[in-house]
Structure 1
Amino acid sequence: MEAIMMPVVVLGITGILMGLFLAYASKKFEVEVDPKVEAILAVLPGANCGACGFPGCAGYASGVALEGAKMTLCAPGGPKVIEKIGEIMGVAVEIPVKKKPVKKTVEKKVVAQTGDPISASAEFIEKNKRMLNKFKDAFDAGDKEAYEKLENLAKTAGKDELLKCFEEIKAGKIIASGSAPAAAAVKLEPITATKEFVEKNKRMLNKFKDAFDAKDKEAYEKLENLAKTAGKD
């Protein structure tokens, strides 16, 4: 019996002594933590992102409380966390104001104008005025992608005269007014058809005249062919 009890007693006493030693050592070698560090760590978001330049939130809390680091470095926390850190440190913190990004103004490319108009007729300019102006605006603004797209559209459609105008605009020529110049007084004679015939076919006659004036050869030849097919001499 004594042989069994003796080791148990020895182990028990050894355990008690070790416990007392550890308790003494923890008190003796205890590292005191600044309460401000713990308070700051408590208000930080705990993201440990490192954006502040310190190794995690604990490192930043120590940096602020013990090393005098700036209190405005916690980007994830924002103004609320900055304000709370200031309260813990007992100082008023000036919260940085985010500046709105300045919009970059696109400088328009100024092209020297020679004063010479493009070589197209007034009727052609009037018909294609929108495309010509879009090309000029894109070229003046230096928007290469936009004006090259317009050039490719003209190539695909086989509009060689329009491409020629584009090249002239790039060379500095201006788009003249599309309105036709005032013609000299000319005595206009009416067509030989009767009034009744004109009234009856007014729509077709006007369509033919508009196509002819616009030099739309395909359109007015189509109307002529329709008249021939119908035998309307």
Structure 2
Amino acid sequence: MKRTTTKLVASIGAACAIVATSAIGSAPAQAAEPFDTDGATAPRTPSAVLSAIRADLVASGAASEVATFDRLSADQRLELASYFLDPAVASAVTAAAGAKVLGPGTVRTRGNFEWGAVEPSLSAQDDDRAEGGARAASRSSWGTQWFAFAGIRLTETKVSMSYEYSGATATKMLGYSCTVVRNVQPFTEVRTSKSSGYISGGQATAKCKVVVKRGVPTPWGSIAWSTYSSIQRLSAKGNGGITANRWE
């Protein structure tokens, strides 16, 4: 076993505090209202945790990620299961994450764990402006935030919005939505709801409140839960260029 994995796994069962910020990126977590959750049937062993993740990936139709999951090494499987079974491991993963550039964006990484964002490029945006004019028209923009392990996306939340624009200026918010695209994390519930949507400084902004409830098995056979929340923000100019896709 790799030395880093050994150090992480050695702390299993050593702590009872819950760390949930990794599920919502690097944003500061704040306590939120409790969920009504029955953890009686939650998986409590490494093999059960891994089976639960694979079953959820299959159910989501992510065939390529199921194949990636099946190719994980024994060390990777143990590292992934330990993240969900021991809060000390989750804490170490989050605290030591560093940023690096992967493709067009910056992704935070810690070993096999990754946090990142997705948004459409400006060239992919529909432009409904009249030829040679700057009449008001509407367009849609979106952005997601995700958490992954070895290329397997475990959680992804999405903010979408539609607005009117004139030239390069957003003029009127038409509506926005908040969606949990995927959550295949054991002991974890993710919910998202509308926070605010508005036009300011010629830009459209939509904010969604993402609430994460994270748990860990205890020696007494129950699940200890901790709930956190953060705001996922998406802002765009009238021409569709994304100016903010982040946590705050």
User: Which is higher, the Rg of structure 1 or of structure 2?
Assistant: 1
Same fold flag (TM > 0.5): no
- Which has the higher relative contact order, 1 or 2, with Cα contacts under 8 A spaced 6 or more apart? 2
TM-score range, shorter chain: under 0.3
Q: TM-score, normalised by structure 2?
A: 0.19
Which structure's residues are more often strand, by fraction? 2
Q: TM-score, normalised by structure 1?
A: 0.20
